[in-house]
Structure 1
């Protein structure tokens, strides 16, 4: 399932005028590929992710997820799309202090209504999938630790596993290395690139880190709300 943004323009009220956050942005992310978006602070990167996630409606343009134009959906239908078909990895994982790493990942399935009763979605299968995802991100031995017992990189990887719990077709990642040292940041970026290809997701990753973008299939730069091909050192 691909993600396509067509001619996206987004403005915000700014005093008596309007501030343009995105200006005719187009982006096509096929399934199984990762597009990295770089750019200075205030260039529109966070706005781009918000529009792609259908959290913000643009003034003009279309967001198409797997052939479905999201502008034609109701608010409830967009929420359903996010819950079932999208994974979002926030800059800060925002883990719940009272839950273990395993429970953080399971929570996504329970929000989606799985893990109760009998059948394919029963609790045991949800737990097994959560364990498999923690193993995938290298945290199998830390499943029962709570956030304060995990390093920053480990918490970020729990956030990635959580985002993958419902098998998203689209993965949106916001500055995953901003609070990590070089080694841990590189490991997280490599993991995201590998999972994108293995899982066949259409991944958009916003990052300030221009030095480690070899994992990306495409790198674009946002400057003043407009997109172009980035120069990477």
Structure 2
């Protein structure tokens, strides 16, 4: 499996002596080219699941394996390097830098990971073409629609050729049609590029793009479901 969470438990302080369980013995395996969607109410643990999978938060117990690498023994610096090279994160809000063009948004990610400069521009243009924005490479965020900004967000997450992509509510600020287009694009890129993708979403109308749909409830991840809700 490209991404594996094995019996992961995560708790947070809740008052003087008690703790709140955000993840309760969660196990999840996602293979290359597979899109797994996770649904559930607010506060059910979906964001905590993504944070642990991204190695941003260390669980109390259990293990996380990313592209064959157990992350538990890694130092903070090693986890940061793993994130830059093997994990792509698509945030709920694109958070694009206002002064940079679409292509430059991607190029920044490559420079941070130490990618050879001569290949950065061509890689950025190739990915913008893949998300349908070949003619928007030199436009800045204010010149793009909400759906186009989210597509740049997705392309940016793929810039360093990740093995795993973690996607947090990518359609929350989009209308029905643009949201459907973004999810279709995610599914296409996941399968076409062999990425293991975990999608957290409230957009249950378009869950047909997922290979599996799972539900989180009170920190527990339910069995695969065809209904998703």
Whole-angstrom distance in 2 between the partners of 1:102 and 1:122: 14
Q: Secondary structure at the match of 1:177?
A: coil
Cα deviation for residue 65 of structure 1 reads 1.3
Cα deviation per residue 1:130-182 (whole Å; 9 max; x = unaligned)? Answer: 00100100111111111111111111000000000000000000000000000
Cα deviation for residue 14 of structure 1 reads 1.0
- Superposition pairs for residues 15-164 of structure 1, below 5 Å? 15-16=15-16, 17-114=18-115, 121-123=116-118, 125-164=119-158
Matched, 1:232 2:228: yes
The gaps in structure 2 that reach 5 residues or longer are: none
Cα deviation for residue 45 of structure 1 reads 0.3
TM-score using structure 1 length: 0.95
Check the 8 A contact 1:7/1:25 in 2, yes or no.
yes
Check the 8 A contact 1:84/1:166 in 2, yes or no.
yes
Let me know the Cα RMSD of the aligned residues: 1.0
Q: Secondary structure at the match of 1:88?
A: strand
The gaps in structure 1 that reach 5 residues or longer are: 115-120
Whole-angstrom distance in 1 between the partners of 2:141 and 2:10: 36
Whole-angstrom distance in 1 between the partners of 2:76 and 2:83: 11
Aligned residues: 226
Cα deviation for residue 113 of structure 1 reads 1.7
Whole-angstrom distance in 2 between the partners of 1:91 and 1:140: 23
Partner in structure 2 of residue 5 of structure 1: 5
Partner in structure 2 of residue 117 of structure 1: none
Check the 8 A contact 2:39/2:228 in 1, yes or no.
no
Cα deviation for residue 15 of structure 1 reads 1.1
Check the 8 A contact 1:211/1:232 in 2, yes or no.
no
TM-score using structure 2 length: 0.96
Check the 8 A contact 2:215/2:228 in 1, yes or no.
no
Cα deviation for residue 122 of structure 1 reads 2.9
Cα deviation per residue 1:104-147 (whole Å; 9 max; x = unaligned)? Answer: 01111111122xxxxxx233x21011001001001111111111
Q: Secondary structure at the match of 1:32?
A: coil
Cα deviation for residue 66 of structure 1 reads 2.2
